[in-house]
Amino acid sequence: MHHHDLEHIADGVVGAAAIASTIIANPLLRAFYRKWGATEHEAHKPLPGDELIASPRMQYTRAISIKAPPAAVWPWLIQIGYERAGWYSYDVLEDMTGAGKFVDGESADRVVDALQTLKVGDQIKLHEHLSYAVRELEAPARMVLFDAREDHSSSWVFVLEDHEVHPDDPDTAAYAGGTRLLVRWRLDYEPSRSNDLMWKAFVEPINFVMERKMLLGLRERAEL
């Protein structure tokens, strides 16, 4: 077994452990991971796509600062997906859940030219039987994804903003000319105790672990 394969397996073990611990500690962590990385203002301000789920039963807003301009982040963002460039997350876990079929066999470490033609109406698959439709696409500012089903509907929105630099906050100086990436997910579903349990106790914490890793992986690639 190659060293690279061992790294992926070890990474998957870390991811699985993170998922298990997040599910167990969900009641204590939920308020934290629903706005991971985001300020209070970012967590509550209106974003494109909010109108798709007017009264969500669940919502999170996450954010990450990237030392690269939006135009450099954009190509990495629009190529994500199943049968695309991957998720920049825990590839081993993606493989185990059927979401790991990527053009490079693993999450791409390159901008894939053939995947840069994304347009409104295209589908970004999560796995073979689940996908989001591209509802809005404005380079390099926003990508709005939407999925409507009989039992639930959700929007997944990515907004790229020029990173603000505040004179009274020296930490922001490092991100001058960089990107502030906001991610918002909104969900509506048929109310029931079983649905509440599924979405809030299981789907949401799993989503946090995988998406946090994705955002960190996206930043790592864009900053190269």
Q: What angle do CA 206, 210, 215 make, to 5 degrees?
A: 140
Locate 205 and state its tokens.
Answer: 């914490």
177 vs 67: CA distance, rounded Å: 7
65 vs 109: CA distance, rounded Å: 19
**For the residues 187-213, what does the mean pLDDT come to?**
96
* pLDDT tens per residue across span 132-152: 999 999 999 999 999 999 899
Q: How confident is the model at residue 58 (pLDDT cuts 50, 70, 90)?
A: very high
CA–CA distances in Å: residue 76 to residues 20, 185, 202: 29, 19, 28
* pLDDT tens per residue across span 152-189: 999 999 999 999 998 888 888 889 999 999 999 999 99
What residue spans define the domains of the chain?
Answer: 3-222
pLDDT at 23 over 70: yes
CATH code for the part of the protein at 3-222: 3.30.530
Residue bearing tokens 């295209």: 122
Closest CA to 136 of 156, 151, 153: 156
Closest CA to 140 of 172, 118, 114: 118
Q: Which of the pair, 98 or 64, is modelled with greater confidence? A: 64
184 vs 192: CA distance, rounded Å: 24
Q: So what's the pLDDT on residue 170?
A: 83
Q: pTM, whole model, 2 decimals?
A: 0.94
- DSSP 3-state percent helix, strand, coil across the chain (nearest 5): 40, 25, 35
204 vs 33: CA distance, rounded Å: 9
Lowest mean pLDDT among 2-16, 18-32, 139-153, 175-189: 2-16
| Sheet-wide strand order for 179-189 | 58-66, 179-189, 152-162, 142-148, 130-138, 123-127
61 CB burial (10 A radius; 0-12, 13-18, 19+): buried
